[in-house]
Amino acid sequence: MEAGLKTMTIKDKLIAEFESAKNTLFGDLSIRETALEAFSTQGIPNRKSEEYKYVNMELVLKGEFSLSAKNKLTTQQIEKTKFLKDAIVVVIENGILNKEYSQIASTLPKGLLIKNISDALSDDCFQKYYSKSAGVNSDPFIALNTALAEGGVFIHVAKGAVIEQPIHILHIASVSSSAILNSRNLIVIEENAQTTVVESYLTVDSKFKSFSNALTEIVAEENSVVDHYKIQEEEEQGYLLSTTQILQKKQSVFSTHTFTLSGSLVRNNLNIVLDGEFIESHLNGLYLTNGNQVIDNHTLVDHRKPNCNSNELYKGIIEDKSSATFNGKIYVRKDAQKTNAFQSNKNILLSDDGTINTKPQLEIYADDVKCSHGTSTGKLDADKIFYLRARGLSEASAKKLLMHAFASEVVDTVKVEELRNYIETKISKRFE
């Protein structure tokens, strides 16, 4: 039996994990079984897979992984990770909501509901939206998360509610041996409502490899305004695959910002479906890579209805032997006339050994649209460096200033001042 386990493939091991855990997991078992089947059909993507060409997921999942090798975080450890003073805090510890440290009680502003996802099963909107837009056949990690999800948070913003304080979700990984974590979250913002959600991804005191396969589904109903952030600061042992699946309805405005500041391997799958007219979507991203880091941003903007605007800006600074990938797909469906869709990806490559893969993909089936994309990769501008040095700045501080300037185009899109300052400080430290 032991010998048998050792020769099992990663896929088989994950399926075995599911079999032993399935009766303890929340929700409808049939959804999970369908998902597992979808996972089993798709398998772990290897480097021949078009969608995962530049990130070796087989390597990430190599070795032993368990579902339950978790540390218990102390109050101090959690307190240290809270960087927004004025926020409603939700702590997802190793893929499961920590009720003790999360603000889920009656102290919440009117119209805001936060609960453990496993306590939301009977909510109407859970049933309406859970596992609906994140299709299990579209990606093996969506399937895996849907099959294995142990917990997460459910957030509901009622019709017309305006939540002033940002909701800060801390996804913290801390494991006592190699583990796979599948946090599963659903956020629904009802008609005319408005909210800001900040998701932080980090590892704390983790000496072993953790693979977070985190999935958040967000629904922005008619006329809602949502400001969404992902701040990724995993440590060396932290591997992260973060899927954000967004469904936007008529006249909604959704802005999302992804800041990848560290982590051995980070893969972001950001999918936005514009399912209504007069929708506005903003996608901003900044990634700073060094060492042997691998950062891969995949975005999909799916224009399904007419008269919508989407605007995407991703920027990266690549150092050492690290590698960064940007793959931006834009679909403009046949019905989506009068679409405006723009995309831009700019990179600065600071070393000879770094790699950038950038791939814009536009598929346009409507004939009256405005779409454009642009991509650039280069070194820091020698003329600018010289100009600054000619005023007395050292070469190092000239470069630092220019990198800040490059990043600021994305950082300036952050509307929460406290968060913007936090990111700026992190970037400054990084460029020291």
Q: Does 397 bind other proteins (CB under 8 A)?
A: yes
Distance in angstroms (rounded) separating the CA atoms of residues 283 and 298: 11
Whole-angstrom CA distances from 263 to 218, 233, 312 are 24, 6, 23
From the list 233, 231, 260, 227, the residue with the least C-alpha distance to 246 is: 227
State the nearest-atom distance from the C-beta of 389 to other proteins, in Å: 4
Distance in angstroms (rounded) separating the CA atoms of residues 18 and 207: 25
From the list 339, 282, 355, 340, the residue with the least C-alpha distance to 313 is: 282
Using the minimum distance from each CB to other proteins, give the nearer residue, 158 or 402. 402
The one segment of 150-158, 258-266, 336-344, 392-400 that binds other proteins by CB under 8 A: 392-400
The one segment of 66-74, 249-257, 267-275, 384-392 that binds other proteins by CB under 8 A: 384-392
Alpha carbon of residue 133 to chain centroid: 16
Q: Does 409 bind other proteins (CB under 8 A)?
A: yes
Whole-angstrom CA distances from 149 to 115, 184, 330 are 16, 6, 29
Q: Which of 372, 394, 425, 428 binds other proteins (CB under 8 A)?
A: 394
Q: Does 393 bind other proteins (CB under 8 A)?
A: yes
The one segment of 20-28, 61-69, 70-78, 380-388 that binds other proteins by CB under 8 A: 380-388
State the nearest-atom distance from the C-beta of 261 to other proteins, in Å: 19
Tokens 């299709």, residue? Answer: 135
State the nearest-atom distance from the C-beta of 397 to other proteins, in Å: 6
Residue 362, C-beta contacts closer than 8 angstroms, at least 6 positions apart:
329, 330, 332, 341, 343, 371, 373
Using the minimum distance from each CB to other proteins, give the nearer residue, 410 or 416. 410
Q: Does 391 bind other proteins (CB under 8 A)?
A: yes
From the list 312, 314, 282, 310, the residue with the least C-alpha distance to 297 is: 314
State the nearest-atom distance from the C-beta of 326 to other proteins, in Å: 20
Q: Does 389 bind other proteins (CB under 8 A)?
A: yes
Q: Does 344 bind other proteins (CB under 8 A)?
A: no
Q: Which of 390, 417, 429, 432 binds other proteins (CB under 8 A)?
A: 390
178 near 64, Cβ under 8 Å?
A: yes
Residues that bind other proteins (CB under 8 A): 381, 383-384, 386-395, 397-398, 401-402, 404-409
